[in-house]
């Protein structure tokens, strides 16, 4: 039963910052600039439940287009669980995404609930942990993405996301506490990756490449941007066996799994060239 004094509001930027603090307490380890980058993706797509004036639950339902959206940051504060408040924000987000194919990356304990809401499994992901290393000489094909025409990146990225995401990408590659690198060969972008500072350590995502060798070189360069032995995480789609092999070659430690699920027909994403997802909260 829902608490009779609850109400749902769209999150302000400050509210989203609070929800990301909750995410950190849940062990999700968000990025330092995620609030500023996530909020503009869909300023009307972040929802918070309050009981009286107390924030108690959150979810993001980001509409990337008229036909595709993504759910994330689904959190109910521990003292308020089991009272229907999560369902209240969940329904608000799904109402905002009405008419869309909707994706999410679900933790194990929630996947049965998502199935009851009409979501089907597309594939599993696995979080891997690496560590920062001493910088090594980079292959001359590796360049900073900020030095390329943005249209070059936007065109390449279309293979790895169901809809264009130019506003997000421009902010993602220019994070103050991060680095975005690409592999440029014969004037064509053939891979790219981003490492960003998080509450604890760093995360790499996305990491996309036309060949395992390019992915390996980009990963090595990104790890060299991180302080020696500082932890680095990346979320690897398990159907890409080359991505799993890459993580194992680099001695990474496997962590918790998640599941990419969709309500509606699963869009085509080139997983064979995707070695790490962008971020579990936004797809």
Q: Please report, for the domain that includes residue 179, its CATH number.
A: 3.40.630.90
* Mean pLDDT computed over 67-79: 96
State the CATH number of the domain containing residue 80: 3.40.630.30
Last residue of a domain, one of 99, 116, 147: 99
How far is residue 181's CA from residue 193's CA, in Å, rounded to a whole number?
6
Q: How many CB atoms lie within 10 A of CB 28?
A: 18
Question: Is position 111 within any domain?
Answer: no
Q: How many CB atoms lie within 10 A of CB 235?
A: 24
* Statement to judge: residues 164 and 239 lie in one domain: yes
Question: Is position 119 within any domain?
Answer: no
List, for residues 105-161, the tens digit of each pLDDT value: 998 888 999 999 999 999 999 999 999 998 888 999 999 999 999 999 999 999 999
Q: Cis peptide leading into 234, omega within 30 of 0?
A: no
User: Going by C-beta distance under 8 Å and a sequence separation of 6 or more, which residues neighbour residue 93?
Assistant: 45, 47, 59, 60, 61, 71
Last residue of a domain, one of 53, 82, 99: 99
Q: How many domains does the chain have?
A: 2
Question: Is position 134 within any domain?
Answer: yes
List, for residues 28-69, the tens digit of each pLDDT value: 999 999 999 999 999 999 999 999 989 999 999 999 999 999
Which helix (H) or strand (E) covers residue 247, if one does?
A: helix 241-249
DSSP tag of 252? P
* Statement to judge: residues 68 and 150 lie in one domain: no
How far is residue 63's CA from residue 86's CA, in Å, rounded to a whole number?
20
List, for residues 231-271, the tens digit of each pLDDT value: 999 999 999 999 999 999 999 999 999 999 999 999 999 99
* Statement to judge: residues 243 and 144 lie in one domain: yes
Question: Is position 262 within any domain?
Answer: no
pLDDT band, very low/low/confident/very high, at 6 (cuts 50, 70, 90): confident
pLDDT value of position 1: 45
Containing domain of residue 243, as a range? 127-255+270-276
Cβ 260 vs Cβ 190: under 8 Å? no
* Statement to judge: residues 138 and 198 lie in one domain: yes
How far is residue 269's CA from residue 175's CA, in Å, rounded to a whole number?
25
Q: Quick check: 104 pLDDT over 90?
A: yes
User: Going by C-beta distance under 8 Å and a sequence separation of 6 or more, which residues neighbour residue 199?
Assistant: 24, 29, 30, 31, 32
Question: Is position 115 within any domain?
Answer: no
Question: Is position 198 within any domain?
Answer: yes
DSSP tag of 57? E
pLDDT value of position 3: 55
State how far the alpha carbon of 251 is from the alpha carbons of 26, 71, 109, 254, in Å.
Answer: 26, 32, 28, 10
* Statement to judge: residues 52 and 152 lie in one domain: no
State how far the alpha carbon of 266 is from the alpha carbons of 120, 121, 197, 207, in Å.
Answer: 9, 9, 31, 21
């Amino acid at each position: 039963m829902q608490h009779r004094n609850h109400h749902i509001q769209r999150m302000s930027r400050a509210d989203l910052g609070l929800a990301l603090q909750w995410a950190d307490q849940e062990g999700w380890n968000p990025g330092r600039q995620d609030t500023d980058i996530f909020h503009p993706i869909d300023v009307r797509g972040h929802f918070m439940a309050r009981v009286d004036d107390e924030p108690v639950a959150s979810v993001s339902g980001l509409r990337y287009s008229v036909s595709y959206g993504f759910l994330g940051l689904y959190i109910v504060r521990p003292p308020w669980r089991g009272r229907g408040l999560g369902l209240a924000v969940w329904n608000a987000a799904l109402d905002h995404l009405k008419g869309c194919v909707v994706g999410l990356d679900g933790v194990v304990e929630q996947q049965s609930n998502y199935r009851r809401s009409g979501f089907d499994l597309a594939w599993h992901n696995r979080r891997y942990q690496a560590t920062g290393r001493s910088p090594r000489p980079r292959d001359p094909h590796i360049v900073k993405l900020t030095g390329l025409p943005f249209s070059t990146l936007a065109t390449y990225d279309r293979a790895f996301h169901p809809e264009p995401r130019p506003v997000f990408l421009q902010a993602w590659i220019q994070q103050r506490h991060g680095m975005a690198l690409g592999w440029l060969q014969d004037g064509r972008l053939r891979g790219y990756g981003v490492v960003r500072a998080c509450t604890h350590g760093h995360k790499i995502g996305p990491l996309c490449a036309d060949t395992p060798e390019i992915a390996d070189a980009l990963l090595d360069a990104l790890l060299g941007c991180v302080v020696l032995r500082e932890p680095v995480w990346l979320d690897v789609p398990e159907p890409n066996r080359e991505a799993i092999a890459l993580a194992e070659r680099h001695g990474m430690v496997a962590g918790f799994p998640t599941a990419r699920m969709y309500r509606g027909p699963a869009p085509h994403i080139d997983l064979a060239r995707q070695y790490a997802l962008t971020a579990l909260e936004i797809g």
